[in-house]
Amino acid sequence: MSLSCMFRETPAGLASIAADLIATHIHSAINATGECLIAVAGGTTPVSTYRELSRLDIDWAKVIFVQTDERVTPQPTDRSAGLIETALGLTDPGHRATWSPIRVSGDGQETAAAYDNQLSRLRAEGVPDIAVLGLGTDGHTASIFDHTLGEAPYQRVVATTYHGEQRVSLGLNYLRAVPTRILLATGTGKRAALAEILNPATGTAPASAAVVLGQDGYVLADAAAHPGQA
């Protein structure tokens, strides 16, 4: 299938359909292989979706959550993992899902190498079944920025720098190989970047377009990010 677009008037409406879509693909993966490995983004946009998802009837014991990217900072409060854990309830007593976050150890390169090993233990070959992605105002997704497009053609985990801040991210082509990629966009600040994804011009499309365009790619946005749609 080609890129699918879904729009809702409000962020709450968007979170509801996004959670249902993710749950559908989780069920499909579990039915096919007995488990679902899902990569999830941090940031504020996916939080409502994760809260909705956590309330759905899913066999969580067969779900493994990993991160799309993380800041390499000594301060845990500055990292994305905390938002994800709280919204999905992953640290609640009795939660049965497996949570495998990026654990910062040393610099970006060291952290990336450690997470690459961590992912290989979860799934020695292949990629996650689902990737839930956010959208930066400049068009980046995960921690993949335009300047990283020329890096090695296939890396599972990469270290990069954004505005002087070290980050670790799943690699561009690794994410592109994920069977189901779901990009979430809310708010007027995402409008220009979303327009470039939906109407890409040769040589100017943002990094996020390279990730999400193609088979089983989804773009979900609210009216503020894509006015005139509902």
As a whole number, the mean pLDDT across the chain is: 90
DSSP per-residue codes, the chain: ---EEEEESSHHHHHHHHHHHHHHHHHHHHHHHS-EEEEE--SSTTHHHHHHHHTS---GGGEEEEESEEE--S-GGGSSHHHHHHHHTTTSTT--SEEEPPPP-SSHHHHHHHHHHHHHHH-SSS--SEEEE---TTS-BTTB-GGGTTS-S--SEEEEEETTEEEEEE-HHHHHTSSEEEEEE-SGGGHHHHHHHHSPPTTT--HHHHHHSSTTEEEEEETTTSTT--
- pLDDT (0 to 100) of residue 149: 55
pTM of the model as a whole: 0.94
User: What number is the average pLDDT over the span 93-102?
Assistant: 94
Evaluate if residue 67 carries a pLDDT over 90: yes
Q: What is the pLDDT of residues 181-224, one digit of tens each?
A: 999 999 999 999 998 888 877 566 787 888 887 667 899 999 99
User: Which pLDDT does position 230 carry in this prediction?
Assistant: 45
**What tens digit of pLDDT does each residue of 145-184 get?**
865 555 556 789 999 988 889 999 999 889 999 999 999 9
**Over residues 28-44, mean pLDDT:** 97
